Chain A
Amino acid sequence: MNLVVNGDAEAGPGGSADPVASVPGWRIAQGAPALIAYSLGGGYPTPADPGPGQRGSRFFSGGNSPRTALVQDVALPARGTTGPRAVDAGRVRYALSGWLGGYATQEDGARLSVEFRAADSTPLALSVLGPVSSAERLGRTALVECRAEAAVPPGARSARVLLVFTRSGGGTSNDGYADALSLTLHATGGQS
Chain B
Amino acid sequence: MTVIKNKPEVLAPAGNLEKLKMAIRYGADAVYIGGQAYGLRSRAGNFSYEEMAEGVAFAHARGAKVFVAANMVTHEGDAGGADAFFKTLQSIGIDAVIISDPAMITICAQAAPGLAIHLSTQASATNYKTLEFWKSLGLERVVLAREVGIEEIREMRRHTDIEIEAFVHGAMCIAYSGRCTLSNHMVNRDANRGGCAQSCRWKYDLFDMDEGEARSHIQDGEPFSMSAVDLAMLRHLPDMIDAGVNSLKIEGRMKSIHYVSTVANVYRNAVDAYCEDPEHFRFDPAWEEEIWKVAQRDLSTGFYYGVPGEKEQLFGKPRKIPKYTFAAQVLDYNPETHLATLEQRNHFGVGEEVEFYGPGFVHFKQTVRDLWNEDGEPIDRAPNPMMTVTMTVDAPVEPYFLMRKK
Interaction A to B: no
Could you list which residues of chain A lie within 8 angstroms of chain B, going by C-beta atoms?
none
